[in-house]
Amino acid sequence: DAGVTQSPTHLIKTRGQHVTLRCSPISGHKSVSWYQQVLGQGPQFIFQYYEKEERGRGNFPDRFSARQFPNYSSELNVNALLLGDSALYLCASSLESESYNEQFFGPGTRLTVL
């Protein structure tokens, strides 16, 4: 069975541009969460979506947005990119939305903002 997949693997953008990152959850998983991992730090929660509805939001500016599609895949959008947005963006899927459910992480998208 395929795990969580993310695309693209790597991305280079310049300040002010916008970016869209994509995630496909494990088959049967209805919940998708997004995390930002800055080099040398632990992942920080950005969003959770369950059954296409936003169920949780971390402390990130409105430049960050996301959505979940009927097939449970998800997109993370970041507008007006800043140098500080350079990070590994991780997507995680789980069967249900409660946090005690195991979250399965994808390999991440490495975003570099120049």
Partner 1 sequence: AQSVTQLGSHVSVSEGALVLLRCNYSSSVPPYLFWYVQYPNQGLQLLLKYTTGATLVKGINGFEAEFKKSETSFHLTKPSAHMSDAAEYFCAVSVTGRRALTFGSGTRLQVQP
- Closest approach of partner 1 to the CB of residue 89, in Å: 11
- Closest approach of partner 1 to the CB of residue 36, in Å: 11
Contacts of 112 (CB under 8 A, 6+ apart): 10, 11, 12, 13, 86
- Tokens of residue 24, six digits: 């496909």
Among residues 18 and 31, whose Cβ is nearest to partner 1? Answer: 31
Q: What is the dihedral of CA 43, 66, 80, 12, to 10 degrees?
A: 60
Among residues 6 and 78, whose Cβ is nearest to partner 1? Answer: 6
- Closest approach of partner 1 to the CB of residue 20, in Å: 19
The answer to whether the bond into 25 is cis (omega within 30° of 0) is no
Among residues 15 and 57, whose Cβ is nearest to partner 1? Answer: 57
Report strand pairing: 64-68 vs 10-13: unpaired
Among residues 34 and 81, whose Cβ is nearest to partner 1? Answer: 34
Tell me phi and psi for residue 110, to 5 degrees. -90, 110
- Closest approach of partner 1 to the CB of residue 53, in Å: 11
| Contact set with partner 1 (CB under 8 A) | 4, 33, 35, 40-45, 48, 55-56, 58, 90, 92, 97-100, 102-108
